Structure 1
Amino acid sequence: MTVMVLVVDDEPDVEALFRQQFRRDLRAQRFVMDFANSAADALARIADNLGQSLILILSDINMPGMTGLEMLPKVKQIRPEVPVIMITAYGDADTKRKALAGGATGLLTKPIDFALLREEIDARLM
């Protein structure tokens, strides 16, 4: 079964950055990465992929329309078992508190520490 990591971010260069950082894993087919450019798009993809093994959702907080924090309880309603890590440029204590209170597993600040993120993904692949 294919395992998937979903990345939700409205920045157009995020997909290229993640594909570059995880190119060996993707080439080795350890997992696949899917990308959504809005919270609404992410919710539709999550609902459509109920049979797929979604192991992690990474979501930016600040996006136009629905924010990542607004999306979080909706994700947890559809797929409560899937961990969600929020990503933000502003890693203040209040943002972290809101993310964790909303059900996030963790919070990463930009620029993303890809070594730490790789450890998170590897732990879920075991």
Structure 2
Amino acid sequence: MRVYILVVDDEPDVEALFRQHFRRDLRDGRFLMEFALSAPLALQRATEIRDAALILVLSDINMPGMSGLEMLPIVRAARPDVPVIMITAYADADTKRKALENGAADLLTKPIDFAALRRQIDSRLEQTA
């Protein structure tokens, strides 16, 4: 079974950063990563991925148009089986509270601690095995 992680961020360089940090996993086929440059595109992909397991959504909070916090309850309603981890450069207490109240599994701050993120991904992979 193919396993997907969906990364949502309006910054195009985020894809290269994630692909670099997870290059071995991607090369070895442990999981696939898809990237969406906006919340509406992410919502579309989250509902389309049915031929494989979508195991995690990683979403930036601050994006033009629909923010990650606005997308969060919609994606959680559409895919309650998929945890969503929010990512922000501004991890104040109010933002963290809003994210967790709306169903986020966690909130990561930029710069991203990729070792911690890897542990969360490994945990999700173990649950789907």
Q: Which TM-score band (shorter chain)?
A: over 0.9
Q: Does 2:33 match 1:66?
A: no
Q: Give RMSD over aligned pairs.
A: 0.6
Match of 2:80 in 1: 80
Structure 1 residue runs without a partner (length 5+)? none
Equivalent runs, 1:1-126 vs 2, <5 Å = 1-126=1-126
Q: Deviations over 1:23-61 (max 9, x none)?
A: 000011000000000000000101111342000000000
**Distance in 1 separating the partners of 2:51 and 2:2:** 10
| Shift, 1:16, TM fit | 0.3
Letter in 1 for 2:71: M
How far off is 1:110 after superposition? Answer: 0.2
- Unaligned runs of at least 5 residues, structure 2: none
Corresponding letter in the other structure for 1:80: P
One-letter code aligned to 1:84: V
TM-score (norm 1): 0.98
The alignment of Structure 1 onto Structure 2 pairs a total of residues equal to: 126
Q: Percent identity?
A: 71
- Runs of at least 4 residues of structure 1 off by over 3 A? none
SS at match of 2:86: strand
